[in-house]
Structure 1
Amino acid sequence: MIHHLSIAVANPFRVAKILAELMNGQFFEFPIHQGAYIAIADDTYGTAIEILPQKAVWVAGMTEVEVKETEQAPALHSVHAAISVPISRERIEEIGIREGWLVRFCDRGPFQLIEFWLENSLLIELITDDMAANYLQFMRSSTYAAFLNEIKATA
């Protein structure tokens, strides 16, 4: 279970506000670093997303993790997350359109999701309540292994 993750973006306040809206949660300042925020889903899992300024990175400090500023922000990200959200596909699309961010429904075959591109550069995959059952069924070791075996058999 992933309880929280951290991301770095150009406008942490705006992204925190939107993530809280998508999760039906709230957002707050995140005192680990100036200009950082945290969006909390208020779900049973303690789901939260820490939003740092774009040039902030985690480093191993002398006694615990610290946040430091880098010279240059990355243009692209290799990290993304899939998050279940308690709002509809239509509401997600409305929010994305309002913010001017790319949003698209994707059918991955065994499951569906919505790509939601924060600031048009960082991918968050959103899974609505009606999409969750297929995703949860597919993301089991036995189901995934069978999926891979099927791909190999047809190759």
Structure 2
Amino acid sequence: MIHHLSIAARDPNYAAGVLAELMGGTAIPFPPNPGSFFALQLDEHGSGVEVYPAGTEIQPGGEVGSSFVNKDARGYGSTHFALSVSTDADTVQAIAQRAGWHCFDCNRGPFHVIEVWVENETMVEVLPPQYAREYLAFTRPDNVTAAMAKAGTASARQR
């Protein structure tokens, strides 16, 4: 289980606030990296998303732990994650629209996701309850390996 992860945003406070709203949680400052915020789902798993200022790199720091270094701002990247929420699909889309973020209801074949693009640069696959049930059915330990082997390549998603 992943308890938290981090992404970068040009406006971390706003991005964390919108993510927290999608999760039905709250956003708070993240003091270890000034200017960062933590969107907390407030569930029994400690689920959350740390949102750092764009350009932040996490670098190894040896026994004292990692350090945060700010580099150039970023754009699109390869990082994305799936986020199960108790929020219904219509509300997810309304929140994303209000934030001014791209939002697409997508059929991945064995399951659906709502792509919410944080600041129109970082994709989050939001899974309202029905979509989460589909995803969990697909990723059951007794099913996922064979299902992925059968899935093939989705050329429409490649450029």
Q: Which residue of 2 aligns with 1:90?
A: 90
Q: Which runs of 5+ in 1 are unaligned?
A: none
Structure 2: how far apart are the matches of 1:151 and 1:89? 25
Q: Does 1:144 align with 2:144?
A: yes
1:30-49 correspondence runs (5 A): 30-49=30-49
Aligned residues: CA RMSD: 1.3
TM-score with structure 1 length normalisation? 0.92
Measured after TM superposition, the shift of residue 149 of structure 1 is 4.2
Provide closer, same or farther for how the CA distance between residues 130 and 61 of structure 1 changes in structure 2, counting only shifts above 3 A.
same
* 1:76-120 residue CA offsets vs partner (Å, 9 max, x unmatched): 111100000110110011111111111011111111110000000
Deviation at 1:151, TM superposition (A): 4.6
The corresponding residue for 2:120 is 120
> C-alpha separation between the residues in 2 aligned to 1:149 and 1:123?
24
Question: CA 1:33/1:150 → structure 2, altered by over 3 Å: closer, same or farther?
Answer: closer
Instruction: Give the whole-Å Cα distance in 2 for the aligned partners of 1:38 and 1:151.
Output: 35
Query: Within 5 Å, which residues of 2 pair with 1:1-155?
Result: 1-62=1-62, 63-70=64-71, 72-151=72-151
In structure 2, runs of 5+ residues without a counterpart are: 153-159
- TM-score, structure 2 as length reference: 0.90
Find the aligned partners of 2:141 and 2:78 in 1 and give their Cα distance: 24
Q: How far off is 1:60 after superposition?
A: 0.7
Give the distance between the partners of 2:69 and 2:151, measured in 1 at CA: 43
* Runs of 4+ that moved beyond 3 A: 148-152
What is the DSSP-based 3-state SS (H/G/I as helix, E as strand, rest coil) of the residue aligned with 2:143?
helix
1:26–1:110 CA distance, 2 compared to 1 (3 A): same
**2:157 alignment partner in structure 1:** none
Distance of 1:149 and 1:75 partners within structure 2:
32
Deviation at 1:56, TM superposition (A): 1.0
Give, in angstroms, the shift of residue 148 of structure 1: 3.7
Q: Distance in 2 between matches of 1:55 and 1:148?
A: 34
Aligned residue pairs total 151
Q: Residues 26, 151 of structure 1: CA spacing in aligned structure 2 closer, same or farther, 3 A cutoff?
A: closer
Identity within the alignment, %: 34
